[in-house]
Structure 1
């Protein structure tokens, strides 16, 4: 996976990871998901959650996938969360959700609570567009939750892959560029270049900056 604008690490699960790593994914709860080569939207690997309540025991099964990005979020900017899922089993009591907590050096500064999502038997893209980071946010905590109800035989199974969280609005940089380069403004007005192409160039440059900052 190319480096996501919000700094998510290993969103395609191609790299092995340890739940004790300082950066990257953490798996938690009583039945945590596992990295798998059985299915993949891209590459060779995805993350696999398979839950099945025991017979004669009405105890929920639950798995969490978590990543905390401490830096890289721009307060006030808009972001798109995207990921791909393939559902194998969707039991009556089964629930799958995501949650987003915006954070700063002082702690949580905003959140989007547990939200259900659904796909299908084939690989399906889930998009959560135009998420606005609070003005004082500098990072984000992303969590996926997979859980069965407290019923005997409750079950659910899913593969998830290519998780990304990218900035979607570059209006401020666009306006600054036009102000500093009247020729570009004129070229857009005359139809010699499109606004979309200029924005695409800005987006590419900003993502390159993020990658350089991450590597240095």
Structure 2
């Protein structure tokens, strides 16, 4: 009885509840973060996919997020990088972000996942961050245009990656020194803030006031 009450109190406080050996469930805060970032990424992928189909039907179609010569989603969609795997990139997002939403819903329902599951999800997010980084570099320095929906997906991916990585380190699923665990316990938020800040700085350095011209 007391253990059940303690676990419920931890969940309300936003801390991870005590888990059965070999499995772990995230806090309500982590579950909500995965839901929100997954939904944001899915929305971005959905809008870009719809606009891509419109562009295929009408080469002169201008997406709603094409504001000026720099903030021009159409330029991104017409590039070779937009189909890195032979199909439109956002179609990959439709699948992966939907999976993240499912994980978030499962955690809210009290699901516990084994170590291999958390590490597999973390590995997928490493790929996601790497892919987003490549797309960002291509956007800034090769295509010379920026897609706001893409930026939304980048931010969502970075947030979920850092918080799931933090979870895995704190749970001991990813081996790390004690000071790294302590850092993640108190300052997980600092890493995504710094990461997103670097991206924002690169964008401003690349275009500056021309973004709003």
Q: TM-score range by the shorter chain?
A: under 0.3
Q: Between Structure 1 and Structure 2, which shows a larger proportion of helix residues? A: 2
| TM-score under structure 1 length normalisation | 0.26
| TM-score under structure 2 length normalisation | 0.26
Q: Between Structure 1 and Structure 2, which shows a larger proportion of strand residues? A: 1
